Chains A and B, each alone.
Chain A
Amino acid sequence: MSNTTAISKKDAFIANFMKRPKADLSSNHQSIREEALQALTILDLPTSRDEYWKYTRLTSITKQEYHHIEVKLDALQDEWKVEGLEANLMVFANGYYQPHLSNIIDQNVSILTLDQARIEAYDVVDKHFDQYVNAQNEIFTALNTAFNHTGVFVHVSKNEVVEHPIHIIDVVQGESALVVPRNLFVVDQSAKAQIIHSIVSNGGEKAFVNGVSEIVVGENASVEYQMIQTIGDTNQQIQTTQVTQANNSKFTTGAFTFNGQLVRNNLNILVEGTGCETHLNGVYLLDGKMHVDNHSVVDHLMPHCESNENYKGVITDKATGVFNGKVFVRPDAQKINAFQSNQNILLSDDATINSKPELEIYADDVKCSHGSTTGQLNQEGLFYLESRGVKPQEARKLMINAFADEALSEVGVDTLKEKLEVMIADRCQQF
């Protein structure tokens, strides 16, 4: 009985994705799509009984009906851009490419839409597309693989450095839009790239963004990928980012979540090389009934690596924050230094935090640790500020601001860092 209703619920949900006509693909990519479609017949919508989704209920996403809304944006709003930053700009609205607003400055790198790349950079796409994500076991990844149309493709060849950061702006607009962006970033040996990914709302309501990004970090390469989520109060997002790192590479990422009804970030980093460095950061500032869930996996397969994870959350009203960080150290991956930290401040009695920092260690010569704290603002700090004549309300905001700012230390683009500082300060005004 319950089984049949579950299936029909799933089918109804998948039907939303099918509304948009399929793009024509080369036979290789067509077969990947078909495999994903096949997987969808078996995979079920997760429930809170699934450990992986224990604290996040998806009914608010799955019960709705969605549409594919093609839009042409007139202009970019200033707040979407990073002030003072000259960037390679790629703009999409509801998943549709906006060439008139996009602008590529650096010519030593190929920055294309994924469907362009399927033709112009066929070999690279063919080698890497869908090779890292798990479309066979994860329903939202399978949906993306089966139904995505386009996204951003970046290929930085050996020894090249992308001088200007690549800024991707995903705009969500209209009512109940379904957005399925798929990105692929390939950074070859000894190359370097900085990528900023903004997901913004242009008056969008009840939209659902089901995004997947694959990032390939080559040997000795350095990649920074920062994600800013200002998706809008009624919009929802499930974003899966799959990273693989080769020898001596460096990968830095951040997830900065400012709003959204439900935001789930799945960040999986496979450290396949030795001598790698990995930094993960996150800030989530939640009020109202927001629900933000950050899931991360750092999987150390090889020795002599270092990973550092730092997530900070401020939660008020009836909002819920979820953190689940997992560090694997596989057998023989010796000399791993892994650190994980999740700190939260609760400001109201209806706010909830569910924190689950996990370590799974199969090698002995390692130094792994994690910490998780939940509490209030430091009373002594507040008192100190007040004793200096700062009003209690102001002192509170200052303290929240300072708490959240700590997660910005790894942001390498100065203008972006400044923008995030301002965004955090503005957001703190609302607490």
Chain B
Amino acid sequence: MGYTEADLAEELKKSEYKYGFVSKFDTDKVEKGLNEDIIRQISARKNEPEWLLEFRLEAYRNWLTMTEPTWAHVNYEKPNFQEITYYAAPKPKKKLNSLDEVDPELKSMYDRLGISIEEQKKLAGVAVDIVVDSVSVQTTFKEKLSELGIIFMSFSEAVQKYPELVREHMGSVVPPNDNFYAALNSAVFTDGSFCYIPKGVRCPMELSTYFRINEAGTGQFERTLIVAEEGSYVSYLEGCTAPQRDENQLHAAIVEIITKDDAEVKYSTVQNWYPGNAEGKGGVYNFVTKRGLCEGRNSKISWTQVETGSAVTWKYPSCILKGDNSEGEFYSVAVTNNFQMADTGTKMVHLGKNTRSVIISKGISAGRSENSYRGLVQIHKNAENARNFSQCDSLLIGDQCGAHTFPYIEVKNKSAQVEHEATTSKIGEDQIFYCQQRGIDEETAISLIVNGYAKEVLNKLPMEFAVEAKKLLEITLEGSVG
């Protein structure tokens, strides 16, 4: 009998989340619930300037008037926003000067993930800004970056040190009243990362942040702001793994990117939030607003994402191509298993002349999961010679999962050239057969095909990250890949 797809489906069901463990930190929390007082408390604890408190309060008031979006092809129990603790920070023990001083528990946590800081540090010089429960614990390589004038620090630190820079750009791409979860984040965000690349600087290393949700019952609301000045370049990596929990945790982040003339930002994500167990219990709700603004001429923003986690995902990294000749890219692999639900895709809004965008989306659904691509390509009236190419493929493993494609194409300019294509199929029996007759067993063949299928996207990841991405893909689809 050999390894069949039924076996694969069975194994997929059984593969549990490998990174589920709880690190024991002392945590400093505010009481749970959400009201203006809590927001004032968060703001006060972080010693924020008045304008930021106002920003939060205004967002909160907006949020109160909004309703949760229901259009996505997902089904979940709505979070109770009064049951969430909006601020949890590990208690600062002491200032750290070197890696040796890093909390041993934190270190072992990363060791178990196979992404130890030492390794990261050595491996092609990645600077890691570790965020545990919303507060940046340690920042490495800071000196090296500061020589070039690059600012890379936690959001709250940036608010203290560069308030003008933060104030100018924050909320300019994702306004606080953009959508329900963006408003919530704007009101209660605790920390995140801030990155500023000055004019003409090419960041010599990949900037990287690992987020962890650690404290039970805490939502994580982080905010990332990347500003790339004229002619600059940065490659930014974001990775997420969360320990196993039974109750659903809410993750509502905002990422804003601004590129000026000739600047380029490459933003890569590997997302591995806890997806819930094989019965669909627990897991993270990932409701994220990610948007980049290509403000300047010839600027470029590239999103690459590998999504393997979360019980429910609702995420559309977008590009607003405002500057002439600007370029947007979106490369995505989304894997869902068991009872996971993902509604993800991108928006490419073409405003400027000669703007180009590419969308490559690869969905893999297994178990009883639902995987949807939802994308918008909008060519505005003045976007002369805009060009878009979209390809959205879905792969189905097992007969109880769903794969859906919902593209929206809106064209208002005759010179635009917009192409969209999508396919949905299972792993071809002929492909497996071909591998088998070459002496490759069925299991290896399936893994080979899945990897090959996602390769187009994985290849876009920076080298150091591609290793981990492949690892996560393997774990999610465990059984098929060894």
Contacts and interface: CB of A to CB of B under 8 A. Distances in A.
Interface string B7-20: 00000000000000
Interface residues of B, number: 34
A346 B414 contact: yes
A353 B403 contact: no
Nearest to B373: A359
A373 interface: yes
Contacts, number: 120
A372 B422 CA distance: 9
Interface stretch (B77-85, B236-244, B392-400): B392-400
Interface in B398-426: 398-426
Nearest to B406: A358
A349 B394 contact: no
A162 B282 CA distance: 60
Given A354-B408, A376-B415, A371 B397 contact: no
B71 interface: yes
Contacts of A367: 423-425
A360 interface: yes
Nearest to A360: B404
A51 B408 CA distance: 11
B212 interface: no
Interface in A354-392: 354-376
Interface residues of A, number: 36
Given A51-B71, A374-B416, A331 B399 contact: yes
B129 to A, nearest CB: 40
Interface string A265-300: 000000000000000000000000000000000000
A359 B422 contact: yes
A352 interface: yes
A332 interface: yes
Given A359-B404, A361-B403, A374 B424 contact: no
Contacts of B410: 352-355
A71 B416 CA distance: 47
A163 B402 CA distance: 44
Contacts of B61: none
Contacts of A331: 399-400
A99 to B, nearest CB: 47
Given A364-B398, A367-B425, A370-B422, A359 B405 contact: yes
B426 A372 contact: no
Contacts of A368: 423-425
B268 to A, nearest CB: 28
A350 B365 CA distance: 40
A348 interface: yes
A376 B426 CA distance: 34
A369 B414 contact: no
A409 B404 CA distance: 29
Contact of A374 (B397, B418, B422): B418
Contacts of A357: 405, 407, 420, 422
Given A354-B409, A361-B396, A361-B402, A372 B420 contact: yes
A344 B411 CA distance: 10
Specify the main secondary structure of chain B where it touches its partner. strand
B460 interface: no
B381 interface: yes
Contact of A364 (B396, B413, B416, B423): B396
A356 B424 contact: no
Given A349-B381, A359-B405, A376-B414, A369 B399 contact: no
Given A361-B403, A372-B419, A346 B425 contact: no
Nearest to A324: B408
A374 B420 CA distance: 9
A334 interface: yes
A371 B413 contact: no
Interface in B462-478: none
Interface in B429-475: none
A376 B348 CA distance: 20
Contacts of B413: 346, 349
Contact of B414 (A334, A349, A354, A363): A349
Contacts of B398: 364
Contacts of B416: 346, 374-375
A373 B418 contact: yes
Given A331-B400, A361-B424, A365-B399, A375 B417 contact: yes
Contacts of B402: 360-362
Contacts of A366: 396, 424-426
A344 B419 CA distance: 10
B411 A358 contact: no
Nearest to B374: A358
Contact of B409 (A334, A351, A353, A361): A353
Contacts of A354: 408-411
A334 B412 contact: no
A399 interface: no
Contacts of A344: 411
A70 to B, nearest CB: 43
A124 interface: no
A347 interface: yes
Nearest to A316: B414
Contacts of A348: 414
15 contacts: A352-B412, A355-B420, A359-B404, A359-B422, A361-B402, A361-B404, A364-B396, A366-B424, A366-B426, A369-B422, A371-B419, A371-B421, A372-B409, A372-B420, A374-B409
Interface of A: 51, 331-332, 334, 344, 346-376
The 10 tightest CB contacts between A and B, nearest first, are: A364-B396, A346-B414, A369-B423, A355-B409, A374-B418, A368-B424, A375-B417, A371-B421, A372-B420, A359-B405
